Amino acid sequence: MIGGAEQAPRTRAERTGYLETSRHADVVAFLDSLRGRPELTFGSIGRTNEGRDIPYVIASRPRVSTPEDARRLGRPIVYVQGNIHAGEIEGKEALLSLLRDLTGSRRPNVLDSVVLIAVPNYNADGNEKFASQEVNRGSQNGPEMVGVRANAQGLDLNRDYIKAEAPETRASLAMFNAWDPHVFVDLHTTNGSYHGYALTYAPPLNPASPAGAFTRDSLLPVLRQRMRERRRFETFDYGDFISADTLSKGWVTFDSRPRFGTNYYGLRGGISILSEAYSHDPMRRRVASTYAFVSEILSLVSERAAQVMSVSQSSRQRAIPLRPSMVAARDSTPVVAEIVESTGDSTRTEPGVPRGRRRTGRFIAVRMPVFDRFSPTLWQTEPAAYIIARSDTQAVRALRHHGITVDTIARSWRATVEVFTIDSAVAAPRSFQGHREMRLEGRWAPEERTMQAGSLIVRTSQPLGILAAYLLEPQSDDGLATWNYFDATARPGAEFPVLRTLTLPPAISR
Ligand SMILES: [Zn+2]
């Protein structure tokens, strides 16, 4: 329904021939005009820093309005988020069009077999900070005016999933806790490399993600094939060339750390998919490829409903990979690159391309290693529980934001626990997102201790057990210690304030 005769109502992108993107008020007005359609429930996931409600829409036949309704239907719940980086506008526009096109007619479609939760304008404050694309999105081919990447606090929401400092992040964690979606899809635009794909994608990349391999090896190859055959879009693993000059060096994905939303969602045990439209495609084509990709995801999830639901609820590993490093699983795969040449002067040939450079429209396939996955370099076996002092209120509050159950040791308890002694504590030389990230080294050793009644305990047998371990382990590459929650004791010789236990105390209360 993109590009042709759109139905009413029309999005701002559609009305302007893809020259403009929706303001927050346009999003709200568009959704208001869908009210009354029998498949839809409307709500707000929470408020931004500047007080805007972040709208969500639940689409399903029959209609569901609560998580209990959704669970009773026994179908996959798919959460799709647009505009986390405002400026990367295609997710927002595609989701609005898709909500319209899937509803208001009696024809059977995916809403008969999945529950769709759509959050089209997640970074609603960033969306309103309009400036020229050249300023806000230097390597993007229009539209002329777009919002900014960060939220109103200046935080990159796609680096905030662990530390959860933004109200937007806390609102989305609350949605995850309430609805427990089987699949999370985060919609973006690439940042510049010249390749031959309308859209690139990634599964949860952290090797601790129970559904990571299933997403990578069973879902994404099918989506790639369907995007080519049914939608005429070439797609590939998200990444960038190691060297634009020597393409054959390889193609690398981004990062495995769960500060990124799709990696975070993998640690929660769910399936997640990162979608990145190609920033050098014109806006109309970027919206169309994103629309097609989300449509194909919904259709594949509905076909494989039983498998998707069992994979995303399943299997916890007993050993948690804490520090992964990137590896190439495929040697010598053809990757399509566009040849970009020098103009010999300083003219700007098109928006999103640096001065003095010109796209040629000529593509070459170069064989190179594809670095699309991570392999653990440091593992930690999962304990029965972590013990944390009641006085660590910030950390405990953070655990609760993530939906992790924190219980209380009801009676004083003497047991052999594991204590982590810090050998080295190194803060990053530069500040990132307002933090100097902390990296701890050290060792766990057994020791007999008495835990006072009232000490807090986090059991790993809960549904979010892997995530709890990743947050609480001192050597995790993206845990609470990384984000300075435990800086007070971060020095050589000190004891890390979280203990591990392989047995559970006899008396635990909520
Ligand atoms: Zn992005």
CA 258–ligand 1 middle distance (angstroms): 15
CA 303–ligand 1 middle distance (angstroms): 29
Q: 170-182: buried (b, 16+ CB within 10 Å) or exposed (e) per residue? A: bbbbebbbebbbb
CA 121–ligand 1 middle distance (angstroms): 13
CA 138–ligand 1 middle distance (angstroms): 13
CA–CA separation, 147 and 85 (whole Å): 8
Taking the CB of residue 392, how many other CB atoms lie within 10 A of it? 19
Taking the CB of residue 156, how many other CB atoms lie within 10 A of it? 18
Asked if omega into 143 is within 30° of 0 (cis), the reply is: yes
CA 444–ligand 1 middle distance (angstroms): 38
Looking at the DSSP bridge assignments, the partners of residue 267 are: none
Q: What angle do helix axes 465-472 and 393-401 make, rounded to 10 degrees?
A: 150
* β-strand pairing of 330-342 with 357-371: antiparallel
CA–CA separation, 100 and 104 (whole Å): 7
CA 190–ligand 1 middle distance (angstroms): 7
CA 400–ligand 1 middle distance (angstroms): 27
158 within 8 A of 51, measured Cβ to Cβ:
no
CA 347–ligand 1 middle distance (angstroms): 27
What is the pTM for the complete model shown? Answer: 0.86
> If DSSP codes are grouped into helix, strand and coil, which group holds residue 301?
helix
CA 484–ligand 1 middle distance (angstroms): 25
320 within 8 A of 466, measured Cβ to Cβ:
yes
Ion ligand 1: residues, CB < 5 A: 85, 88, 188
185 within 8 A of 122, measured Cβ to Cβ:
no
CA 275–ligand 1 middle distance (angstroms): 9
CA–CA separation, 303 and 34 (whole Å): 27
CA 389–ligand 1 middle distance (angstroms): 37
Retrieve residue 359's tokens.
Answer: 């796209």
CA 214–ligand 1 middle distance (angstroms): 24
CA 331–ligand 1 middle distance (angstroms): 28
pLDDT in tens, the chain (510 residues): 444 456 789 999 999 999 999 999 999 999 999 999 999 999 999 999 999 999 999 999 999 999 999 999 989 999 999 999 999 999 999 999 999 999 988 899 999 999 999 999 999 999 999 999 999 998 999 999 999 999 999 999 999 999 999 999 999 999 999 999 999 999 999 988 899 999 999 999 999 898 999 999 999 999 999 999 999 999 999 999 999 899 999 999 999 999 999 999 999 999 999 999 999 999 999 999 999 999 999 999 999 998 898 887 655 446 788 888 898 877 788 999 999 999 999 988 999 999 999 999 999 999 999 999 998 888 888 899 999 999 999 999 999 999 999 999 999 999 989 999 999 999 999 999 999 999 999 999 889 999 999 999 999 999 999 999 999 999 999 999 999 999 999 999 999 999 999 889 988 888
Residue with tokens 């599964």: 203
CA 85–ligand 1 middle distance (angstroms): 5
307 within 8 A of 167, measured Cβ to Cβ:
no
Q: Determine the number of helices (DSSP H) and then strands (DSSP E) in the chain.
A: 14, 23
Closest by Cα among 147, 87, 373 to 251: 373
CA 125–ligand 1 middle distance (angstroms): 15
Residue 403 DSSP symbol: T
Residue 110 DSSP symbol: G
CA–CA separation, 313 and 332 (whole Å): 35
3-state SS of 333-377? Answer: EEEEEEEEEECCCCCCCCCCCCCCEEEEEEEEEEEEEEECEEEEE
CA–CA separation, 87 and 317 (whole Å): 38
pLDDT in tens, 451-500: 999 999 999 999 999 999 999 999 999 999 999 999 999 999 999 999 99
